[in-house]
Amino acid sequence: MSRPVTIFTGQWADMPFETLCQKARSFGYDGLEIACWGDHFEIDKADEAYCRKKKETLEKYGLKVFAIASHLVGQAVCDQIDERHKSILPAYIWGDGDPEGVRRRAAEEMIRTAEAAKRLGVDTVTGFTGSSIWHLLYSFPSVPASMIDKGYADFARRWLPILDKFQKLGIRFALEAHPTEIAFDIASGQRALKAINNHPAFGFNFDPSHFGYQGVDYVKFINMFADKIFHVHMKDVGWSKVPADAGVFGGHTEFGTSGRYWDFRSLGHGNIVFEDIIRALNKINYKGPLSVEWEDSGMDREFGAKEACEFVRKVDFPPSNIAFDAAFEKK
Q: What is the pLDDT of residue 173?
A: 99
pLDDT one-digit tens code per residue, 294-316: 999 999 999 999 999 999 999 99
Is the pLDDT at 1 greater than 60? The verdict is: no
Based on the structure, what is the number of domains in the chain? 1
What percent of the chain shows pLDDT beyond 70?
A: 97
Q: Could you give the angle at which helices 99-120 and 145-169 cross, rounded to 10 degrees? A: 30
Task: Give yes or no for a contact between 155 and 161, defined as CB atoms under 8 angstroms apart.
Answer: no
- Single-letter amino acid, residue 77: V
Question: Is 251 inside a domain boundary?
Answer: no
DSSP letter at 3? Answer: P
Which of 307, 219, 212 lies closest to 266, judged by CA?
A: 307
Q: Is residue 260 part of a domain?
A: no
Q: Which domain holds residue 279?
A: 5-235+268-321
Give me the percent of the chain exceeding a pLDDT of 90: 94
Within-domain flag for 128? yes
Give the number of C-alpha atoms closer than 13 A to the C-alpha of residue 145, restricted to the C-beta side. Answer: 0
Give a yes or no: residue 245 inside a domain: no
pLDDT beyond 70 at 330: no
- What CA–CA distance (Å, rounded) separates 50 from 68? 14
Residue 331 has pLDDT above 80, yes or no: no
321 confidence band (pLDDT: 50, 70, 90) = confident
- The string of pLDDT tens digits covering residues 226-248 is 999 999 999 999 999 888 999 99
Report the distance separating Cα 21 and Cα 117, nearest Å. 19
Asked if residue 309 is part of any domain, the answer here is yes
Q: What is the mean pLDDT of residues 66-82?
A: 98
pTM for this structure?
0.96
> Of 242, 158, 223, which Cα lies nearest the Cα of 192?
158
Q: Which amino acid is at 301?
A: R
Report the alpha-carbon distance of residue 305 to residue 311 in Å, rounded: 10
Q: Confirm whether 246 is domain-assigned.
A: no
320: pLDDT confidence band, cut at 50, 70 and 90?
confident
Return the H-helix or E-strand segment holding 24. helix 17-27
Would you state the pLDDT for residue 328?
61
Provide the 8-state DSSP code for 2.
Answer: P
Q: What is the mean pLDDT of the chain?
A: 96
pLDDT mean over 164-170: 98
- Read off the pLDDT band of 327 (50, 70, 90): low
What is the pLDDT confidence band of residue 150, given thresholds at 50, 70 and 90? very high
Hey, CA dihedral for 270, 40, 74, 69, is it positive or negative?
A: negative
Q: DSSP code of 318? A: P
Peptide bond into 141 cis (omega under 30): yes
d(CA 187, CA 194): 11
Does residue 329 belong to any structural domain of this protein? no
Sign of dihedral through CA atoms 49, 51, 55, 60?
Answer: positive
CATH number of the domain that residue 213 is part of: 3.20.20.150
**CB neighbour list of residue 187: distance below 8 Å, 6 or more residues apart:** none
Query: What is residue 144's predicted lDDT score, i.e. its pLDDT?
Result: 97
Asked if residue 16 belongs to a domain, the reply is yes
Is the pLDDT confidence value at 39 over 80? yes
Distance separating alpha carbons of residues 292 and 2, to the nearest angstrom: 15
Distances in Å between the Cα of 50 and the Cα atoms of 16, 207, 286 are 15, 30, 31
Residues 235 and 264: beta-carbon distance below 8 Å: yes
By the 8 A CB rule, do 246 and 259 touch?
Answer: yes
The closest of 317, 302, 307 to 23, measured between CA atoms, is 302
83-121 tens-digit pLDDT? 999 999 999 999 999 999 999 999 999 999 999 999 999
Answer whether residue 324 shows pLDDT above 70: no
- Cα–Cα dist 177/186, whole Å: 9
